[in-house]
């Protein structure tokens, strides 16, 4: 036996770019050879650890366009996995940097403590980007700091995006949702092979942000992913918004596919002919012709990955029961403002809008959600108008619009998700990130972006400690911000290991109190620079979320059931009431300012 071991070591030593000092593991498909890096940080983390890295590990065969993923077949000899692979083909989002891209992109990255641990907790990261952009293959999601802080294994995965993930003919030729099926394939590979890295397949926590957070929620709803993970962290993501879930009839999705084919000169029937033609087109041609139909690429019901609408699955309690950590950021709505008023100047002033402009913005955004009825628009405007300045028709109502966009798209769907899981007895922890970082995670975003969408990522991944990002603003954070990053990494890894973000925490670590979210207590943790002393709040945005999650759906049903004459009469009464409210507010303000009787 010793002879064969010696022979194997000699073989490895003779392989190009492979040293016997390099870490290696044997998975179901063959041997992987990675690299070991040292992570030393003495000022904030006080750590000196080695981390084994395996970058660009194939978890599936190079995908056939529009087809579900196929499990990776065995390879011959050791496979050197020390460099990131290409990102999946896409149109990068504003404020992001994307280098090499390819349709051959189904790879994952593994970051593991060195020496190899035993039964380590595993954290699987799913990147965001609206299901149309993003990649795991970048240093923004470099797992080394998390591994060093929490002694966990971090895995980051790629999945197909945009038209290459969404396109469907609703048959076997192009079943749709293949980007989500890529994620399932990655999770299956992790379950089959993570023990080789020293991980415990029975302690896998998914975590993701934005579309990645929505993907995590979808994975809690899909039967295809049952048993492949044990906990979930959802950061500013949801299955509720239209960018995340496609409520249209299946026929409209098929029509999108035919329209794409026609734009590229393909016969569109039968689907075998359409797909065969599209396979002859290069990726650039397909992307160029996919806009606007595939500008957003939400998940849809397909009977395979997703059996029913999320609302129905929750109603029937047909979802994975597991501990949950979820939350949003204070200024989520500034993301929509950036989309409506693009700028690449960090010192650009925040746009302003008067009451008439607020109405126009609400109408425009609501129309994208299929909400066009005047009564529904009036209800939203009634809820979000700042009535303290409503008498001044030129006063700036933009803060109201930002709050509206954040509540409707992120905060209130997150609240609803937390309630679903708390309602069946799952342990739920909720956070509200309020710190405005001194350097944005997005390149060139204006200062008024605030505690915006995705800004917590810098702190969750410890990017101020990643030398490869030293030319970015997020590397140049203040000492207080670096301390916050360490505390958030500890909280996230504590949840992954123990199901509680403060479990086992040393009082000197300054994580503060973080009670679970239950009904009716509705507790949440505010996260800012003073995380140790930040108060634990309750009923975050209770009024706004009652509006979106309870009142507004009922109003929609009411409107749908009424005749046009009834609606016109009701609307006139509502407008009269709005006018009376403004007059009452003005009279009340005058009363408060009037001299008091002695």
Let me know: does 329 contact 452? Beta carbons within 8 Å: yes
Q: Is 447 a catalytic residue?
A: no
Let me know: does 299 contact 131? Beta carbons within 8 Å: yes
> SS3 letters for 208-233?
EECHHHHHHHHHHHCHHHCCCCCEEE
Cα 208–Cα 212–Cα 213 angle in degrees, nearest 5: 60
CA 279, CA 524: separation in Å to the nearest integer? 49
- Among 41, 127, 133, 210, the active-site one is 210
Let me know: does 499 contact 205? Beta carbons within 8 Å: no
Q: Which letter does DSSP use for residue 245 in this model?
A: B
> If phi over 0 gives left and psi between -120 and 50 gives alpha, with beta otherwise, what is residue 525?
beta
- Among 332, 436, 481, 526, the active-site one is 332
Of the CA atoms within 13 Å of residue 457, those in its CB half-sphere come to: 26
Q: What is the largest CA-CA distance in the chain?
A: 105
The radius of gyration of the chain's CA atoms, rounded to the nearest angstrom, is: 26
Q: Check whether the bond before 565 is cis (ω within 30° of 0).
A: no
Cα 245–Cα 247–Cα 250 angle in degrees, nearest 5: 115
Q: Is 421 a catalytic residue?
A: no
- Among 127, 236, 453, 526, the active-site one is 453
> SS3 letters for 27-41?
ECCEEEECEEEEEEE
Cα 220 to the center of its chain, rounded Å:
14
Let me know: does 402 contact 331? Beta carbons within 8 Å: yes
Q: Is 453 a catalytic residue?
A: yes
Q: Tokens 């409707």 identify what position?
A: 408
Which helix or strand (DSSP H or E) is residue 111 part of?
strand 107-114
CA 333, CA 512: separation in Å to the nearest integer? 28
> Which residues are the active-site residues?
210, 332, 453
């Amino acid at each position: 036996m010793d002879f064969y071991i010696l022979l194997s070591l000699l073989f490895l030593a003779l392989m190009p770019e492979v040293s016997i000092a390099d870490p290696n593991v044997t998975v179901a498909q063959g041997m992987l050879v990675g690299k070991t890096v040292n992570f030393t940080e003495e000022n904030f983390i006080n750590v000196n650890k080695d981390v084994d890295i395996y970058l660009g590990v194939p978890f599936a065969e190079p995908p056939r366009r529009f087809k579900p993923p196929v499990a990776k077949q065995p390879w011959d000899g050791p496979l050197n996995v020390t460099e990131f692979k290409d990102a999946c083909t896409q149109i990068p989002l504003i404020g992001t940097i994307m280098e090499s891209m390819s349709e051959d992109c189904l790879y994952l990255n593994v970051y593991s403590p060195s020496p190899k641990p035993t039964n380590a907790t595993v954290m699987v990261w799913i990147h965001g980007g609206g299901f149309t952009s993003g990649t795991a293959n970048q240093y923004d999601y470099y797992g080394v700091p998390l591994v060093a802080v929490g002694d966990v294994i971090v895995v980051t995965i790629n999945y197909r995006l945009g038209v290459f993930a969404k396109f469907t003919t609703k048959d076997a030729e192009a079943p749709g949702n293949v980007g989500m099926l890529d994620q399932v394939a990655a999770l299956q590979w992790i379950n089959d092979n993570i023990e080789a890295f020293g991980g415990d397949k029975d302690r896998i926590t998914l975590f993701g942000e934005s579309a990645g957070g929505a993907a995590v929620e979808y994975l809690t709803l899909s039967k295809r992913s049952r048993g492949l993970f044990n906990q979930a962290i959802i950061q500013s993501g949801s299955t509720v918004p239209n960018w995340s879930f496609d409520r249209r009839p299946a026929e409209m999705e098929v029509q999108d596919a035919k329209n794409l084919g026609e734009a590229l000169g393909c016969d569109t029937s039968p689907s075998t002919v359409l797909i065969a033609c599209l396979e002859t087109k290069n990726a650039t041609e397909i992307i160029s012709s996919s806009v606007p139909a595939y500008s957003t690429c939400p998940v849809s019901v397909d009977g395979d990955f997703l059996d029913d609408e999320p609302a129905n699955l929750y109603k029937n309690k047909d979802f994975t029961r597991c501990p949950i950590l979820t939350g949003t950021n204070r200024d989520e709505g500034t993301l929509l403002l950036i989309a409506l008023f693009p700028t690449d100047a960090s010192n650009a002033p925040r746009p302003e809008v008067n009451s008439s402009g607020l109405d126009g913005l609400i109408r425009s955004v609501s129309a994208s959600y299929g909400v066009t009825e005047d009564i529904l628009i009036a209800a939203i405007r009634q809820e979000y108008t700042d009535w303290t300045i409503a008498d001044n028709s030129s006063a700036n109502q933009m803060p109201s619009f930002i709050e509206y966009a954040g509540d409707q798209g992120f905060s209130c769907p997150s609240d609803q998700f937390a309630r679903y899981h708390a309602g069946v007895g799952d342990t739920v922890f909720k956070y509200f990130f309020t710190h405005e970082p001194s350097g944005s995670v997005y390149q060139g975003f204006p200062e008024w972006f605030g505690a915006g969408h995705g800004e917590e990522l810098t702190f969750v991944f410890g990017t101020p400690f990643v030398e490869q990002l030293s030319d970015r603003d997020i590397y140049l954070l203040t000492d207080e911000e670096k301390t916050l990053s360490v505390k958030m990494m500890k909280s996230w890894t504590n949840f992954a290991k123990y199901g509680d973000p403060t479990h086992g925490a040393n009082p000197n670590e300054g994580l503060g109190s973080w009670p679970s979210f239950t009904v009716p207590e509705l507790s949440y943790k505010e996260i800012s620079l003073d995380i140790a002393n930040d108060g634990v709040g309750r009923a975050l945005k209770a009024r706004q979320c009652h509006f979106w999650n309870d009142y507004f759906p009922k109003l929609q049903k009411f409107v749908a059931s009424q005749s046009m004459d009834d609606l016109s009469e009701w609307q006139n009464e509502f407008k009269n009431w709005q006018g009376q409210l403004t007059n009452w507010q003005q009279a009340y303000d005058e009363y408060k300012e009037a001299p008091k009787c002695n």
